[in-house]
Structure 1
């Protein structure tokens, strides 16, 4: 509502006229506020109504006009903050394109990666979109370390494929090419990721008492900082992230990729098992973005064409 101007009265005007003017002004202000409130409350619904796939969304989300996204916004180029503090990357770009199909905004809210599914269960977020690998354990709510069920699990709408890569300080590879070469060495990883799981699994295979020393961090940037400072022998991330770090850190002078990416698997948008309508709406929106060509443009923009998919799949992880 815009601020209304105040009308001044002269001493010659009667008190009754002044009171009348105030009453009229008040009525106009209230009417204006009422009209604006009505406009505000209807803006999201009118936006949604004009979108081709809005009707597929749950009514509560369609009316709110927002999908709350839990994301670890420190995983370039998938999602990260640019120099101005804006959230950018593959995931935000895809979310914007899907939002046009659904008539809603995707509101990215920062959180540590290992708390995103918990936040989804507690309904702090509607979805989690954060380079999260779609796995059977996550679908079924199984803790990867203990094998025990820790929750209901989630459904995934898969939108990209990525393997896991190892990188080292540039010029200091120590002949590391495969995961078995890490026995007796120290690796830095992000907590609760496939890289951490793989490091733990490989360490159990090491012989001669030469286990892998694993340092796990809340986010990948912290792990990179540790490696850059000489505190470890290698790091591991999903291939797009590792490749981006190698290309950009220190102008390309800090790190280098070693060996080949392994364990290629889908990234998925995580949705609560109970929210099948939202899951299906997201799948339809992603398929629409793939078919209209926006998906390919976004993937090409970030130089990760090797991980593109041709269709949106639900729970394609193994």
Structure 2
């Protein structure tokens, strides 16, 4: 998820219809984001350090603790969300669990509002942030994309997935919406601090004065969906995997529909503090290991998002 650059973030380069066809959404049905609760379920990925091939790459303090604390907005199905039993599940927790086996630690997810995750990282509440966060130059540099001013130290990203942004409407009520320019004169709901909000603000500046685009932003995507479902808006926007999952699952597939094509395809990255290069490099090695051994592909297939797969982990690949 990217604070105006927390995608779940700031704009990356456009590439229409990249991350996968709507067929991907169908596969999402194979399964099934704040407070500061933490997840202690089996998805943590605990592993004995002695049997973990990459354990010695981690900082000693993390090895001693046996835990990597993960800041995440756990309300972004299917990337990360709570299942019916309250357990944290999704693409990110599954990938983290597989990485944990390589590193000999548990990835412990802690729930937080998306636009506060990087602040939590800077204050050392978390070791990393993993939450469908788009890797962008602004985040890397700690720049507020709306003002162009530096607001923090910036972070490094370990990129692990690619996703675009989609628009969705109530089913059977698309009102002729196909592109972002079609939103002029209408109201869109979305999650605060995401690339969807960035795109909506940019489009609003281009709309004619007599066709103003109204934007209502929420703390999480589920709240935005509820507003649209109740008729309080004309359209919603979120990352494609999330929008597709909502379309296929909300109301048994009867609430929403995708309109138009994806835009702004960009990498999701695990955010790490700039001074934690050893941790960053260990995460990259663990991701490369699960890509090589097939676990990565297996997890993406489970969630129906293989079209967003990368061939190798990269550092700061967002541009």
TM-score by length of 1: 0.85
Q: Which one has a bigger Cα radius of gyration?
A: 1
Query: Is the helix fraction higher in 1 or 2?
Result: 1
| Structure 2 SS opposite 1:211 | coil
- What whole-Å deviation, never above 9, does each CA across 1:142-167 have from its counterpart, x for those lacking one? 01111110000000000000000000
Answer yes or no: is the 8 Å Cα contact 1:156–1:269 preserved in 2. yes
Residues 158, 315 of structure 2: 8 Å contact kept: yes
Structure 2 gaps of 5+ residues are 1-45
Check conservation: 2:91, 2:300, Cα contact below 8 A.
yes
Q: Does 1:262 align with 2:258?
A: no
Equivalent residue runs for 1:136-215 within 5 Å: 136-215=137-216
Q: Is the 8 A contact 2:73 2:80 kept in 1?
A: yes
Are residue 54 (structure 1) and residue 78 (structure 2) matched? no
Contact preservation (8 Å) 2:188, 2:214 = yes
1:108 and 1:74 map into 2 onto residues whose CA distance is 12
Equivalence for 1:250: 251
Structure 1 residue 103 displacement after superposition: 0.1
Q: Would the aligned equivalents of 1:299 and 1:308 in 2 still touch at CA under 8 Å? A: yes
Give CA-to-partner distance per residue, 1:244-290, whole Å, 9 cap, x none: 00000000000000000000000000000010000000000000000
Deviating 4+ runs (over 6 angstroms): none
- 8 Å CA contact 1:70–1:129 kept in 2: the answer is yes
Q: Is the Cα–Cα contact under 8 Å of residues 49 and 55 in structure 1 kept in the other structure?
A: no
Shift of 1:208: 3.4
- Of the structure 1 ranges 207-216 and 115-124, higher mean CA displacement relative to structure 2 is found in 207-216
TM-score (norm 2): 0.85
Number of the residue aligned with 1:224: 225
In 1, are the aligned partners of 2:47 and 2:105 still within 8 Å (CA)? no
Shift of 1:235: 0.2
Q: Which has the higher contact order (CA 8 A, sep 6+)?
A: 2
Q: How far 1:46 sits from its partner (Å)?
A: 9.0
Ranges in structure 1 where 5+ consecutive residues have no aligned partner: 1-44
**Matched residues, number:** 274
Matches within 5 A, 1:30-109: 47-109=48-110
Contact 1:65 1:103 in 2 (8 A): yes
RMSD (CA atoms)? 1.0
1:225-304 aligned at under 5 Å gives the runs: 225-304=226-305
